[in-house]
Amino acid sequence: MSDKHKNKEQENEELQENTANLEENGQEEETASAETAQEENTPGAELAEMKDKYIRLMAEFENFRRRTAKERQELFKTASQDLMSELLPVLDDMERARQSIETSHNEDAMLQGLELVFHKLKHVVQQKGLKEIKINVGDDFDSDFQEAVTQIPAPSDELKGKVIDVIEKGYTLNEKVIRFAKVIIGA
């Protein structure tokens, strides 16, 4: 019986050691999981959260960029629609004037009709912000509004460095030069 008793004691000791080992391992696992939970609430979790926010922000920005690019393309397609609508009556008048010229030989009536169409066209473009750059012979050369095409000897000393002739008128659209006036200046 003593052998059985010894075996029982050994089994009890082994059982106690195993239980102690399990308890220690359990405590270590709880400690490790507690540390992991703390890490998830601190730098690791914050990093993941910030990364998620960054990815979402980038996706949102990309969608915004695509949307604005599409809107800008649509705006370019329809930007001149207003101007074209305003010019249609002028185009109709030009068509009527062309037909009138073919059938009529009255030059005064043709000139009057052409003047009316020209004034109508000028009125439409002025409403849209187009203005002619006013340049007179004898004005100083201004490179902000004028382009010197050539330079010729000045007919008089007072015209040196000044505008002698205007070859092509210049225009501004809403205070921005869209075509420089082409001029000849005196040398």
Q: Where are the alpha helices (DSSP H) in 104-141?
A: 107-127
7 and 34 inside one domain: yes
Check residue 33 and give its pLDDT.
46
Tokens of 163: 């505008």
Judgement on whether residues 104 and 140 belong to the same structural domain of the protein: no
Q: DSSP class of residue 159?
A: G
Q: What is the pLDDT of residue 23?
A: 53
Query: Do 45 and 84 share a structural domain?
Result: no
pLDDT (0 to 100) of residue 51: 93
Do 55 and 66 fall into the same domain?
yes
Q: What is the pLDDT of residue 97?
A: 84
pTM of the model: 0.55
pLDDT, residue 62, reads: 95
| Residue 30 sits in the same domain as residue 87 | no
Q: How many domains does the chain have?
A: 3
pLDDT at site 83: 82
Q: What is the 3-state secondary structure (H, E, C) of 47-100?
A: HHHHHHHHHHHHHHHHHHHHHHHHHHHHHHHHCCHHHHHHHHHHHHHHHHHHHH
Query: Which residue segment(s) compose the domain that 159 sits in?
Result: 131-187
Residues 18 and 65 in one domain: yes
Q: List per-residue pLDDT tens for the chain, 187 residues long.
A: 455 555 566 666 665 665 555 455 555 444 444 454 444 567 888 899 999 999 999 999 999 999 999 999 888 877 778 888 888 988 898 888 888 888 877 888 888 888 999 999 999 999 989 999 999 888 889 889 999 999 998 888 888 889 999 999 999 999 999 999 999 998 8
